C-alpha cells in the first residue's frame, strides 16, 4: 500500500511538472501572438498552472497525512 501511495504521489508530481513545461512553452508563444490568440494562450497557461498547483497541493497533503498516521 505504501509503495502504491508513493507511486501515486510521484505520478501526480510528474504530471504537474509536464503541465508546467507545457504552460512555459505556451507563455513563450504569447510574444508572437495577436491579441486574441494571446488572450487564449494566457487562459490556457492559467488553467495549466492551476491544475499543476492542485496536483502538487494534493500530493503534499497526501504525504502529510501519511506521515501523521505513520508518525
In a domain, 9, yes or no: yes
Whether the per-residue pLDDT at 8 is higher than 70: the answer is: yes
C-alpha cell at 57: 497541493
Q: Is residue 23 part of a domain?
A: yes
CA atoms within 13 A of residue 3's CA, in its CB half-sphere: 0
b (16+ CB within 10 A) / e for 21-42: eebeebeeeeeeeeeeeeeebe
Show the domain range for 44: 2-63
What's the predicted TM-score (pTM) here? 0.84
Give yes or no for residue 1 having a pLDDT over 60: no
Residue 68 lies in a domain: no
How confident is residue 2, by pLDDT bands cut at 50, 70 and 90? low
C-alpha 39, offset from chain centre = 21
8 Å CB contact between 15 and 55: yes
Dump pLDDT digits (tens) for 21-71: 999 999 999 988 899 999 999 999 999 999 999 999 999 998 888 888 876
Query: Does 57 fall in a domain?
Result: yes
Amino acid at each position: 500500500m505504501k509503495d502504491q501511495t508513493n507511486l501515486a504521489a510521484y505520478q501526480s508530481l510528474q504530471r504537474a511538472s509536464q503541465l508546467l513545461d507545457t504552460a512555459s512553452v505556451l507563455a513563450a508563444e504569447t510574444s508572437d501572438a495577436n491579441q486574441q490568440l494571446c488572450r487564449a494562450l494566457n487562459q490556457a497557461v492559467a488553467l495549466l498552472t492551476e491544475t499543476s498547483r492542485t496536483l502538487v497541493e494534493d500530493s503534499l497533503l497526501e504525504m502529510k497525512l501519511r506521515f501523521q498516521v505513520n508518525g
